[in-house]
């Protein structure tokens, strides 16, 4: 079946470090891929998405590239801040009308 695997962490970084959170997926065809972020005590927020191979999802500070050949969608940020401390979820949806399937989440802690 369809699934998402991501590094579970916790990941601890110092401010200004480079961030990579790995995500791989299992699905047939070309699912849409997402990254969501959950800050403490809040609901999930959509961070970025990509809908086809080689698409680069971006929200100006976070990026992820849809790699069909490696079935991956790794999240990157060039310089993290303490305010980036949160849980990050990789996710997929087979079609526009299907539900979202979430990975287990990766907890990130950024130390000032």
Partner 1 sequence: EAQVTQNPRYLITVTGKKLTVTCSQNMNHEYMSWYRQDPGLGLRQIYYSMNVEVTDKGDVPEGYKVSRKEKRNFPLILESPSPNQTSLYFCASSRTGGGGGYTFGSGTRLTVV
DSSP letter at 82? G
Instruction: Report, in Å, the least distance between residue 98 CB and partner 1.
Output: 5
- Which helix H or strand E contains 87, and what residues bound it? strand 86-93
28, 40, 96, 112: residue in contact with partner 1 (rule CB under 8 A): 96
21, 80, 93, 108: residue in contact with partner 1 (rule CB under 8 A): 93
> Interface mask (CB under 8 A) for partner 1, residues 9-48, using x and -?
-----------------------x-x-x-----xxxxx--
Burial (Cβ within 10 Å: 0-12, 13-18, ≥19) of residue 83: exposed
Chain position carrying tokens 């601890």: 12
- Residue 66 binds to partner 1 (criterion: CB under 8 A): no
- Residue 55 binds to partner 1 (criterion: CB under 8 A): no
- Residue 102 binds to partner 1 (criterion: CB under 8 A): yes
User: Residue 29 region, left (φ>0) first, then alpha (ψ -120 to 50), else beta?
Assistant: left
């Amino acid at each position: 079946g369809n699934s998402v695997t991501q590094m579970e962490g916790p990941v601890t970084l110092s401010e200004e470090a480079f961030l990579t959170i790995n995500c791989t997926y299992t699905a047939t065809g070309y699912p849409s891929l997402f990254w969501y972020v959950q800050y403490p005590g809040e609901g999930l927020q959509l961070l970025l998405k990509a809908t086809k191979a080689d698409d680069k999802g971006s929200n100006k500070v976070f990026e992820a590239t849809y790699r069909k050949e490696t079935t991956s969608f790794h999240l990157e940020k060039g310089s993290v801040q303490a305010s980036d401390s949160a849980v990050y979820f990789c996710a997929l949806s087979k079609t526009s009308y299907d539900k979202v399937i979430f990975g287990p989440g990766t907890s990130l802690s950024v130390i000032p």
